[in-house]
Amino acid sequence: MSESSPKPTVFSVAARAGVSVASVSRVLNGLPASPAMARRVREAAEELRYVPDAVARSLKARRTQQLSFAVADVGNPVFVAMMRAIEQVTKAAGYRLLLHSTGSDRQVELDLLRSLAHGYVDGMILCPLRVTDDHLAVFSETAVPLVVVGMVPEGVPVDNVRADSRLGMRLAVDHLLSGGRTRIGFLNGPPDTVPGAARREGYEAALGRVGRPVDPALISSGGDFTHDEGYRAALRLFERRRVDALVCANDLIAVGAMRALAESGARVPDDVAVVGMDDTDLAQMCFPTLTSVSLGSQARGRMAAELLLGRLADPSRQPSRVTIPPRLAVRESSGPGEAGTIR
Amino acid sequence: MSESSPKPTVFSVAARAGVSVASVSRVLNGLPASPAMARRVREAAEELRYVPDAVARSLKARRTQQLSFAVADVGNPVFVAMMRAIEQVTKAAGYRLLLHSTGSDRQVELDLLRSLAHGYVDGMILCPLRVTDDHLAVFSETAVPLVVVGMVPEGVPVDNVRADSRLGMRLAVDHLLSGGRTRIGFLNGPPDTVPGAARREGYEAALGRVGRPVDPALISSGGDFTHDEGYRAALRLFERRRVDALVCANDLIAVGAMRALAESGARVPDDVAVVGMDDTDLAQMCFPTLTSVSLGSQARGRMAAELLLGRLADPSRQPSRVTIPPRLAVRESSGPGEAGTIR
DNA sequence: TTGTAGGCGTTATCAG
DNA sequence: CTGATAACGCCTACAA
């Protein structure tokens, strides 16, 4: 390749400009200096194509200007939406963003949290699908500020952003009830996850609130929050019960369920209304378009990033907990006559 | 909070163990040492909960163990698929992954490439949607190894992974022709992008190859590779021509087109066959399921990561160029009687 | 205003 | 096998 002259440093610039390294640093960082000095330094830096080394600067400053975002599955649309928001906010604040995929593996998450002690980032946003006691223990002794997105038990001193999926389920169920639906099935993801548990509780509470009994046979849980699992969970449910509505733990499951419905000859929304959750792009792209409860993925991402930046600015601040309210987006899949319905 | 004793360093460990910092470093890095020494050091490190500092190590080693992936839009399913693969490969090799979103802005991309001189990563994978002369100039003088995913002109000395979207379009067109379709419309994204231009060429070449004339009125370009633009591009096309098939520049456009078809009363695939490109998850989730040309997003991501790691291991190696072959995934949207069609 | 010198935490070289 | 010491590239008291 080309003859590579050694990478320029403050020393080479200083030598070239005939000044001290201190002056180089000062000029380049905008500290007071005589115009003549400033000019000479700038010229020398220009000629040498000097660029300050980020690692050395980090070592000195004890800050990396890096944050990380750790998530179970990089491909999940909800996380993608959050990531976009986080990327925007952190970039605007001058931070680089690292991405970690944990596969929702408990040990991987714990190791990742502990690895923060290496100091390669200034803070982290974590989205755990399951929160064990080990997690809680580690949360309170992380080496750098941590923001947890998702449910965390009371009293755990960590910045926390959460969705209200219980209320979200209630919005969905109430919407279906007010549309005259009476046999409302529930397609869940893994019930042993934090969101899985919360959504099931929300479903049961929503029915209980209006005095309806909960029929366990109307609930079908899948092994994952995916399209295929939704499809299968729906088929299992149909073997047990006839339904006139389905609430689903997320949009992927809902779309899988709509396929199962189509194959079994049921029309959506005429025979069965369907409501998803997360309000991903998919909801607007599927057919019929999917009524879905937005849990504010973008807002949660933005808020998580802002909390993290806030704590970086003031490390002694009390941990805050923010809940993003859900919002129902009514579309074609949940029957006619509702506000916002298309055609 | 808790009284924070100063962060332990090799010095504190050395003091506690009653040995020199050199010995601490050696033991902790697995270099030869007497068993007694090793034990004392490990105990001291354990007691102090010593963890080596990644930044200091980077400064010394002149490597950050970080790579970055820069992409126009973090939300694009194709990039998400690539990212997953990249994340896997690089993590397995002991690297952390940074994520940059360029918004496909030329200046942002160029600035990002130049910022590599700060040395905050050891290498970068870039997916530019448009490649200008400025890009080419910068490509050959980046401060760290670069892998470009996408078309790059001949002779540019940079590691390069590309899809063959020309051949991909041919697979799509041939498939439709062999299904007896004769009026094949083409819904493109922005024609001034690298993939946009390549797909248009591929469409025209595929028709030309079998002696069919290209009717410009059968081509409709959108302002973006999105669902909404696909929908609109389809409506514009329908105003001009009747078609019995549509090839689309990606899956999002294809799904948008299917909506337009549904609204205009056309049945898929009976009246109009539809083929998408990229073979994203969406293709299996939409209704009817979408025949799509896989451009090997995952494979491209994996290959890009491997090329980068390879160059990191041997910086003097000749730049390689790898083309990932396309593959047609036949599903419901492209008509009956084809291999792989469901039901 | 400018220069000298020390240190951020680590690894590696060189004697002992 | 082990210990003292010099970098890595930068910033910043402190001194001049």
- Structural tokens at position B63: 């490597």
State yes or no: pLDDT of B76 exceeds 90: no
* pLDDT score at A339: 38
What residues in B contact A284, CB-CB < 8 Å? 227
Among chain A residues, the shortest Cα distance to B89 is held by A101
Mean pLDDT value of segment B25-30:
97
Strands in B291-294's sheet, in edge-to-edge order, are B219-221, B184-188, B245-248, B273-277, B291-294, B327-329
Confidence (pLDDT) at A342? 32
Query: Which residues in chain A are closer than 8 Å to B252, comparing Cβ atoms?
Result: 285
Helices B21-28 and B10-17: crossing angle, nearest 10°?
A: 100
Name the nt closest to A119 by C-alpha to C1': C9
| CA distance, residue B262 to nearest chain A CA (Å) | 9
pLDDT of residue B292: 98
Q: Are B39 and A44 in contact (CB under 8 A)?
A: no
Report long-range pairs for B86-91 (Cβ below 8 Å, ≥24 apart).
B86/B125, B86/B301, B86/B302, B86/B304, B86/B305, B87/A74, B87/A99, B87/A101, B88/A101, B88/B302, B89/B301, B89/B302, B89/B305, B89/B306, B89/B309, B90/B305, B90/B308, B90/B309, B91/A101
Q: What percent of chain A has a predicted confidence (pLDDT) above 90?
A: 92
Strand C-contacting residues in B 25-44, CB cut-off 7 angstroms:
25, 28-29
Output the pLDDT for position B261: 97
* Position B201 pLDDT exceeds 50: yes
Query: Would the Cβ of A21 be found within 7 angstroms of any atom in strand C?
Result: yes
Contact positions of strand C to protein Cβ (< 7 A) = 1-13
pLDDT digits (tens, 9 = 90+) for B269-313: 999 999 999 999 999 999 999 999 999 999 999 999 999 999 999
Question: How far A91 CA lies from chain B's nearest CA (Å)?
Answer: 9
Protein residue with the closest CA to the C1' atom of nucleotide D1 = B33
pTM of the full predicted structure? 0.94
From residues 299-318 of A, which are strand C contacts by CB within 7 A? none
Cβ(B196)–Cβ(B249) below 8 Å: yes
Interhelix angle B54-61/A54-61, rounded to 10 degrees, is: 140
Chain B, nearest residue to A83 by Cα: B74
Whether A91 and B83 lie within 8 Å, measured CB to CB: no
Q: Do B287 and A286 touch (CB under 8 A)?
A: yes
Which nucleotide lies at the shortest CA–C1' distance from A21? C3
| pLDDT at res. B75 | 85
Q: What is the mean pLDDT of residues A111-120?
A: 98
Task: Give pLDDT, residue A4.
Answer: 59
Residue B215 reports pLDDT greater than 50: yes
Residues in chain A within 8 Å Cβ distance of B260: none
Is the CB of A321 within 7 Å of strand C? no
Residue type at B217 in one-letter notation: A
Contact between the CB of A343 and strand C at under 7 Å? no
Instruction: Count CB atoms within 10 A of the CB of residue A154.
Output: 5
Chain B CA closest to residue A262: B287
**Averaged pLDDT for residues A68-80:** 92
Partners of residue A281 in chain B, C-beta under 8 Å: 75, 227
Which chain B positions have a beta carbon within 8 Å of A59's beta carbon? 55-56, 59
Q: ∠ CA(A224), CA(A226), CA(A229), 5° rounding?
A: 70
- Radius of gyration of chain A from Cα atoms? 26
Model confidence at B4, pLDDT cuts 50, 70, 90, reads low
CA of A21 to C1' of C1 (A): 14
Chain-chain contact of B74 with A97 (C-beta, under 8 angstroms): no
Task: For residue B258, give both structure tokens.
Answer: 């299917």
